[in-house]
Structure 1
């Protein structure tokens, strides 16, 4: 039986990737295949943290490009995210390239699909996560969900263990049935997030341990990048985590750009910048995220529903 080979990056490519993540040279490891489970998990956590802080969750290609097409090819992802200043991608782009990074470093993993919850129901398969095996345990690793997504690996543990998110928030996994299932015995992993202790946990998305193939993501990617029913085609979003704290090594907040840009530290809004025109947003993309769009890209948003028009 033939198996489909998955792409990996060379050491030269990995070094450039590490540069993009601003990963300190002493922290760089190129092969974890012989590392202890404890060391491998610690390194995985470091990589996820730096990825969330360096590479934004964004859908700019769907609004500022002539073609408005998202490619999941490994070479195209590398060119866009690693070799371009400031760029990132939405879930399938960020999780796909992060999965290639992990595989190149010797981690055992595969990807799976997830259903995001909108309102009271879970929608169709439109999100991508990675499941990494370390020792005897499997961990869900997600770098493509945005501000409320996991900030470190979560072990697939049916005890519903609560983990710290950006203080005062927390997160957990639950193994349970979901609204919409007609089979009461069906169970899925449900990722939940809680803003603080005054609020209840909210379901963010659910997933199974079934491995998804590249062809599955081609179908999912086509829908999420073209359907007028999907938020990504209607609104612009660009967000990344902020690192700080006493050791300058903890995720302490997030900066989010849509029709304005907000900085939130430990759950509190610390700064907000309003946009009065499209030029204001383009300037913020440059100054806050380091994303410099070309004249052609800037022109492509004119006349669309997502353009900020002067009052």
Structure 2
């Protein structure tokens, strides 16, 4: 029987440094400290890990643009090397795949599921329609209670900022004043309306309409399922991931307790949005500008061979 992959204690220590996990004043290592915290409060520690991952590790698709290979690997070692050791970005299945193995290595009961992305993510208009299976989520089980985790800052202002109880109608604050919840409903395009799916929804304020971001079934998928999904998302000619470079990360407040906004680089704009207020940080006029912006705002330092890899692609800044 193949055993699910885990990271070593040394790799876990490096990851916790990568996300600036707070160090206690004792002689304990970060790993020893977090294991104590999990034993005392597994859910609270999960919230802390999730929050710090979202605000430390950028979401982005640099591997498809700033590389010589233009591919995405979901290998546990490749994920660790790229995101932790090299301190680069990762898109949905990279960030979530890494976090999946981290949680398992720390002793959490966790499994991955597949999801569909709502058209409302791109349009801001609710129509009940969703994409093909192309997204990865996590389900964590604590004391026989399930929580859904979304490790994808690429959803921007719609991204879930904390674990969500797998229960209908529980409303949580996302980034004030926006809110998030889970409901169960049938899909517009489904033949069998008796089948109900979990749907993650958000709204910008109490006066706004709920928008459906993701739908999913609580069914574990295996690594080979995500390999197929990853190939379609990263290599299909019609996939926007191959056409456009995007990078974004969330912003943590000074206390380390609340996500207050996000910083993003998309097209030729670099901007920061905090509590609904947008500030433009710069305009990208050249590849040199974008490389400098990645270093300044996302702490991503590309090698020369990676920078050269975007030459000739439609995503190159000209």
Question: Please, what TM-score do these two structures have when normalized by structure 1?
Answer: 0.93
Q: Contact (CA 8 Å) 1:116, 1:205: kept in 2 or not?
A: yes
TM-fit CA distance, 1:30: 4.5
1:105 Cα deviation after fit: 0.7
State the distance in 2 between where 1:34 and 1:13 align: 18
Alignment of 1:151-300 (within 5 A): 151-158=161-168, 160-244=169-253, 247-259=255-267, 260-300=269-309
How far 1:230 sits from its partner (Å)? 1.4
**Aligned partner of 1:13 among 11, 14, 22:** 11
Name structure 2 gaps, 5 residues minimum: 25-29, 121-126
Instruction: Assess if the C-alpha contact under 8 Å between 1:112 and 1:212 holds in 2.
Output: yes
What CA deviation, in whole Å up to 9, does each residue of 1:20-44 have, x standing for no partner?
00111127545379835xx110000
Change (3 A) 1:304 1:208: same
CA distance in 1, matches of 2:222, 2:58: 25
Q: Distance in 2 between matches of 1:66 and 1:180?
A: 40
Provide the C-alpha distance between the structure 1 equivalents of 2:153 and 2:108, rounded to a whole number of angstroms.
21
Q: Distance in 2 between matches of 1:98 and 1:32?
A: 19
**Following TM superposition, by how much is the alpha carbon of 1:270 offset from its aligned partner in structure 2, in angstroms?**
2.5
After superposition, where does 1:32-43 map in structure 2 within 5 Å?
A: 35=39, 39-43=41-45
The structure-2 alpha-carbon separation of the partners of 1:145 and 1:255, relative to structure 1 and needing over 3 Å to count, comes to closer
Question: Post-superposition shift, 1:198?
Answer: 3.1
Please give the secondary structure, in 2, of the residue aligned with 1:179: coil
Q: TM-score, normalised by structure 2?
A: 0.91
Q: Give the 4+ runs in structure 1 shifted more than 3 A.
A: 27-34
1:25 to 23, 26, 42: 23
Task: Give deviations 1:146-186, integer Å, cap 9, x for gaps.
Answer: 2221111001102x111100111111111111221111111
1:144 positional shift: 2.0
Equivalent residue for 1:77? Answer: 79
Corresponding residue SS for 2:294: helix
Counterpart check, 1:308 vs 2:311: no
Which position in structure 1 is the counterpart of 2:27? none
Moved more, 88-97 or 27-36: 27-36
Which secondary structure state, in structure 2, belongs to the residue aligned with residue 128 of structure 1?
A: strand
Please point out which of 123, 133, 149 is paired with 1:141.
149
For residues 186-228 of structure 1, give each alpha carbon's deviation from its aligned partner in whole angstroms, at most 9, with x where no partner exists: 1111111112223211111111111000000010000000012
| CA RMSD in angstroms, aligned pairs only | 1.6
Q: Separation in 2 of the partners of 1:81 and 1:96? A: 11
Contact between 1:63 and 1:300, CA under 8 Å: does it hold in 2?
Answer: yes
Partner of 2:124: none
Where 2:273 maps in the other structure, the secondary structure is strand
